[in-house]
Amino acid sequence: MTENVASILSLDEMLPAVAQGAIGIACRTDDDKMATYLASLNHEETRLAISCERAFLETLDGSCRTPIAGYASKDEEGNCIFRGLVASPDGTKVLETSRKGPYVYEDMVKMGKDAGQELLSRAGPGFFGN
């Protein structure tokens, strides 16, 4: 359907919502056969990126109706680059942050949480209109 695309937005133009485009599959906790099968479908780089992004969203206590964006990716040197953004509901105020660190689960979750804490602190109470 590329013939229907008017333009492709860069990350500088618009950060995506957290976990945008990632596919999640759930399975019963007691179904080892299915869990083994599904593990073969896992894309580890994406799983780690999503973990960073979700830690950011969780720290901000965001939902699908909160103007929050976050994107984690691996750079040429193998590091995690994370960019996060919050906006006021009317879009008049936008706060951004970024982090860089090892592409390792624990470090990436810490980056996401730290970025969320920073923006919470900068935004102050009532930023999201609640």
Q: pTM of the predicted model, to two decimals?
A: 0.89
- Domains defined along the chain, listed by start: 16-122 (3.30.160.40)
Closest of 93, 75, 84 to residue 119, by C-alpha:
84
What is the tens place of the pLDDT at every residue in 42-101?
Answer: 999 999 999 999 999 999 988 777 899 999 999 999 999 999 999 998 889 999 999 999
Each residue's pLDDT tens digit, 87-121 = 998 889 999 999 999 999 999 999 999 999 999 99
The number of CA neighbours under 13 Å toward the Cβ of 14 is 7
| Distance between CA atoms of residues 108 and 113, nearest Å | 9
